């Protein structure tokens, strides 16, 4: 077994014990000295949900077999993705100052843990950086430097890390949506009209509870505080959740793409010369990934969202 990892690790899970085993096998290899599990509760009246939750909790307890301080937060009822993750991190980051974060469908390469731990330390006091991501949706051919990572506006939540000092800005009180209409905010962020339309739609659907998602709120919280993220040169996390058990299955058609293959990071890390966002690569990611998802919506979804924006605007 490898030397124990000093950085705390948090694993969120629901009802997928077989997926969870694959994730915990990698966590076991890293052997963190501090481990948190956050188990969402079963949905009422769903026997298969109850069985999946109970078996997942059994798997978690059975697989923590190395010397460590561990704690399992068990929800009695189903909170859903947004509340399970946000409330879980609220609680955990009161106890520890930083953590690596995985979910039960995000299988990390072993180098994910060292990569995240080293950069959590490097940017611990840098208020410009809000999270360290393990995923990368870039086209590798566009990287023209030997840097091990770059800075981005986009938070990729398939394996990541953050600090209590950044997470305290998460918009749990839902106050940030009203700021979207502030003059000049879009231009100050450097978004194109297409990018802004995409993200505004995501935010409005999330805050209207049409999407059970924490990550869109987190991205908005980061952007309105002027914070950005780190992503690795090599994708370090494989998402195995594209199946009928997944909470969010929108990207099923993307499961076979190279962006979902995981590789290993080389060490020592090569750090960028400047701490600044690469806006050009961000635009490429938007076109290659997010805009493709946007194009998969059917006309009725687009009409519905346009109507919701119109009604929301009239209420202000």
CB 153 within 8 A of CB 277: yes
Is pLDDT larger for residue 305 or for residue 270? 270
**pLDDT at 130 (0 to 100):** 98
**pLDDT at 248 (0 to 100):** 46
Q: Alpha-carbon Rg of the chain, whole angstroms?
A: 19
Per-residue pLDDT tens digits for 242-288: 754 444 444 554 544 445 689 999 999 999 999 999 988 998 889 88
CB 222 within 8 A of CB 228: yes
Structural domain boundaries in the chain: 9-315
> Which region among 9-23, 70-84, 192-206, 214-228 has the lowest average model confidence (pLDDT)?
192-206
CB 114 within 8 A of CB 265: yes
In the predicted structure, residue 309 carries a pLDDT above the cut 50: no
Q: Distance between CA 316 and CA 311 in Å, rounded?
A: 9
Other CB atoms within a 10 A radius of the CB of residue 127 amount to 12
In the predicted structure, residue 212 carries a pLDDT above the cut 50: yes
Mean pLDDT of the 208-223 span: 93
Q: What is the CATH class of 9-315?
A: alpha beta
Query: How much is the pTM?
Result: 0.88
Q: Distance between CA 202 and CA 297 in Å, rounded?
A: 12
**Per-residue confidence at 182, pLDDT binned at 50, 70, 90?**
confident
Torsion sign across C-alpha atoms 143, 145, 148, 153: negative
CB 159 within 8 A of CB 265: no
Per-residue pLDDT tens digits for 36-93: 999 999 999 889 999 999 999 999 999 999 999 999 999 999 999 999 999 999 999 9
In the predicted structure, residue 208 carries a pLDDT above the cut 70: yes
Instruction: Return the H-helix or E-strand segment holding 28.
Output: helix 17-30
CA distance readout (Å), 152 to 35, 70, 128, 212: 28, 33, 11, 24
Find tokens 């924006």 and name the residue. Answer: 309
């Amino acid at each position: 077994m490898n030397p124990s990892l000093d950085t705390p690790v948090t694993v969120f899970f629901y009802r997928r014990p077989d997926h969870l085993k694959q994730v915990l096998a990698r966590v076991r290899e890293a052997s963190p000295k501090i481990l948190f599990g956050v188990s969402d509760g079963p949905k009422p009246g769903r026997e298969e949900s109850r069985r999946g939750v109970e078996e997942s909790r059994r798997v978690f307890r059975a697989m923590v077999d190395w010397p460590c301080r561990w704690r399992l937060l068990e929800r009695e009822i189903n909170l859903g993705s947004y509340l399970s993750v946000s409330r879980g991190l609220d609680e955990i980051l009161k106890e520890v100052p930083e953590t690596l974060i995985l979910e039960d469908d995000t299988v990390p390469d072993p180098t994910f843990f060292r990569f995240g731990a080293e950069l959590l330390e490097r940017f611990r006091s840098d208020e410009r950086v809000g999270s360290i991501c393990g995923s990368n949706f870039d086209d590798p051919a566009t990287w023209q430097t030997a840097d091990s990572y770059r800075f981005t506006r986009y938070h990729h939540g398939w394996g990541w890390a953050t600090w209590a000092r950044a997470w305290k800005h998460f918009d749990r009180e839902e106050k940030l949506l009203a700021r979207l209409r502030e003059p000049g905010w879009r231009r100050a962020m450097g978004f194109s009209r297409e990018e802004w339309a995409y993200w505004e739609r995501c935010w409005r659907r999330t805050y209207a509870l049409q999407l059970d998602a924490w990550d869109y709120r987190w991205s908005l919280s980061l952007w309105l505080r002027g914070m950005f993220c780190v992503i690795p040169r090599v994708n370090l996390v494989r998402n195995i959740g594209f199946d009928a058990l997944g909470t969010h299955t929108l990207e099923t058609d993307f499961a076979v793409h190279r962006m979902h293959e995981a590789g290993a990071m080389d060490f020592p890390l090569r750090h960028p010369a400047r701490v600044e966002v690469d806006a050009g690569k961000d635009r490429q990611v938007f076109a290659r990934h997010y805009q493709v998802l946007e194009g998969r919506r059917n006309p009725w979804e687009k009409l519905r969202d346009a109507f919701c924006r119109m009604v929301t605007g009239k209420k202000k």
